[in-house]
Amino acid sequence: MSKVLVIDTSLRPLDPIHPAQARQLLRNGKAAIFRRFPFTLILKQARPETSVQPLRIKIDPGAKKTGIAIVNDITGIVVFAAELQHRGFAIRESLTSRRQLRRSRRNRKTRYRQPRFDNRKRSNGWLAPSLMSRIHNIETWVKKLIQLVPITAMSQELVRFDTQLMQNPDIQGKEYQQGTLAGYETREYLLEKFGRKCAYCDKQDLPLQIEHIAPRAKGGSNRISNLALSCEKCNLKKGTKDIKEFLKKDPVRLKKIEAQAKKPLADTAAVNAARFKLLEVLKSTGLPVETGSGGLTKFNRTRQNLEKTHWIDAAVVGKSTPEKLIISCVKPLSIQAVGHGSRQSCRTNKYGFPSRHVPREKIHFGFQTGDIVKAVVKTGKKVGTYVGKVAVRSSGSFNISTKNGLVQGISHKFCKRIHAKHGYSYAV
Ligand SMILES: [Zn+2]
């Protein structure tokens, strides 16, 4: 079990506690549940000011999932971990669908008018809605956690590789191979440069080796411009042959690899606009933000023999990572961004024809679709206790999707909300 978050009577975050201690507090009536996700207690009695241990929130932003970890830099304990699943594709799809509906409606209803498609401007630093949604998701969660945990610093993975480390001319050939930080940075760089495939046969998803374009045996250097990635088969086949001789029969590929190898670092350094935007957002919270490279993340993870998951990657981001992370008791919270529903009040069928009307009112009897409720039914056919997400009806007869399937026709009178809908759903 991960630790349990605690806040005091004036909503200030305290040191997270062990679940056993949390159970005891609840049993003795000294604390109440403040929030289910992430599980947080609130103390019932004010207690004397005590100092709290500073914690660091660490983020590994990904396209589909973002890893979040809260780490104690001094003890190395991972206090809390989560994996946040974004809804990038869902946003793109719903925008496309809206665009198509509007287009067809306009075609049906409007006389011909000349297109005026370039009369809109995008502000500086504009990012696609699907990318912004990821940034907003992370921002929401960082701000949420800052309120519940005594966080004093942040770490974010910013770039895939650190170019400064690689350009260091002191690095010798062996070091590229033997698990040094510079080696990891170089590998990440080459993976990016050669598109994660063998430079000689384009094979993907197999272990790739670092290979010298002009072989060492014939005076080739260890400079990064002389390195390529190849599968074991191609590497053996090439051996100590020069690239010109090896690719005699494939002049097109020869030209391509030579051009690729010579490309200066700055050009290939994958500058990821969304990650830089996220950095800006994190800095705006006022806490110090440390950034790390993907190479460093991988180096830290392999050095400690940790599994590759999103939240572990987050926990090992940056130079501040403790020598030994204690992760044995962590169960990451799995969070899924599901959005806040649609503003459409006229839903369409799959052909785009209006098919049903959605009432403007979203809240019925104090409940909203998406709330997690507990219903204790004592009379009638549906006697039992049901916990799950509720779908509200204006009639007051709700549906609850529980772990064991959908239960229909539960009266609002039996329901008690245990978690308000706020755009995220959870799996434990
Ligand atoms: Zn190959």
How many domains are there within the chain? 4
Is 189 inside a domain boundary?
yes
Residue 342 lies in a domain: no
Q: Is the pLDDT of residue 121 over 80?
A: yes
Sign of CA dihedral 268, 272, 275, 277: positive
The answer to whether residue 232 sits within a structural domain is yes
> Percent of the chain beyond pLDDT 90?
50
Tell me how far the alpha carbon of residue 200 lies from the centroid of ligand 1, in angstroms: 5
Examine the domain organization and report whether 148 and 184 are in the same domain.
no
Strands 405-411 and 367-368: unpaired
Interval between CA 119 and ligand 1 midpoint (Å): 49
Assess whether 291 and 149 both reside in one domain. yes
Helix (H/G/I), strand (E/B), else coil: 214: coil
CA of 362 to the centre of ligand 1 (A): 58
- Determine the distance separating the centroid of ligand 1 and the alpha carbon of 209, expressed in angstroms: 10
What pLDDT band is residue 258 in, cutting at 50, 70 and 90?
confident
**Mean pLDDT, to the nearest integer, of 232-255?**
87
Same domain (yes/no): 217, 241: yes
pLDDT digit string, tens, across residues 62-110: 989 999 999 999 999 999 999 999 998 889 998 998 888 888 888 888 8
What was the pLDDT predicted at 371? 92
Whether residue 270 is predicted with pLDDT greater than 70 in this model: the reply is: no
pTM: 0.83
Higher-pLDDT residue of 174 and 209 is 209
Q: For residue 136, is it within any domain?
A: yes
pLDDT-based confidence at residue 389 (cuts at 50, 70, 90): very high
Lowest-confidence pick of 168-172, 229-233, 273-277: 168-172
Q: State the distance from the centre of ligand 1 to the C-alpha of 335, rounded, in angstroms.
A: 39
Q: Is residue 364 part of a domain?
A: yes
Same domain flag for 388 and 255: no
Distance from the alpha carbon of residue 360 to the mean position of ligand 1, in angstroms: 59
Whether 138 has a pLDDT exceeding 90, the answer reads: yes
CA trace torsion 254, 255, 261, 264 (10° rounding)? 180
Residue 132 CA to ligand 1 center (angstroms) comes to 38
**31 CA distance to ligand 1 centroid (A)?**
61
How many Å lie between the centroid of ligand 1 and the Cα of residue 212?
14
**How far apart, in whole angstroms, are the C-alpha atoms of residue 146 and residue 406?**
35
Q: Tell me how far the alpha carbon of residue 303 lies from the centroid of ligand 1, in angstroms.
A: 28
363-390 burial, b if ≥16 CB within 10 A, otherwise e? Answer: ebeebbbbbbbbbebeeeeeeeebebbb
**Burial label, 69 (beta-carbon count in 10 A; 0-12, 13-18, 19+):** buried
DSSP-derived secondary structure letter, 122:
P
Ligand 1 center to 254 CA (angstroms): 14
144 with 276, same domain? yes
- Would you state the pLDDT for residue 214? 86
Q: 65 and 154 share a domain? A: yes
Token pair in block for residue 318: 């940056």
State whether 200 and 253 are in the same domain: yes
Q: 364 alpha carbon to ligand 1 midpoint, in Å?
A: 62
Give the model's pLDDT for residue 217. 83
Q: What pLDDT is recorded for position 267?
A: 52
CATH code for the domain of 375: 2.30.30
Full domain range(s) for residue 412 = 359-427
Confidence band for 359, pLDDT divided at 50, 70 and 90 = confident
More confident residue, 57 or 230: 57
Distance of CA 301 from the midpoint of ligand 1 (Å): 27
pLDDT in tens, 39-67: 999 999 987 778 899 999 999 999 899 99
Taking the centre of ligand 1 as the mean of its atom positions, its distance from the CA of residue 386, in whole angstroms, is: 56
Co-location of 149 and 275 in the same domain: yes
CA of 204 to the centre of ligand 1 (A): 9
Distance 237 CA to ligand 1 centre (A): 9
Summarised one tens digit per residue, pLDDT across range 151-198 is 999 999 998 887 776 665 455 555 555 567 777 888 888 888 888 889
Ligand 1: distance of its center to the CA of 232 in Å? 7
Residues 219 and 282 in one domain: no
Domain endpoint, select from 210, 237, 261: 261
Residue 101 forms part of a structural domain: no
CA distance 358 to 362: 9
What integer best gives the mean pLDDT of the chain? 88
Residue 402: inside a domain: yes
Distance 333 CA to ligand 1 centre (A): 40
Ligand 1 midpoint to CA 231 (Å)? 4
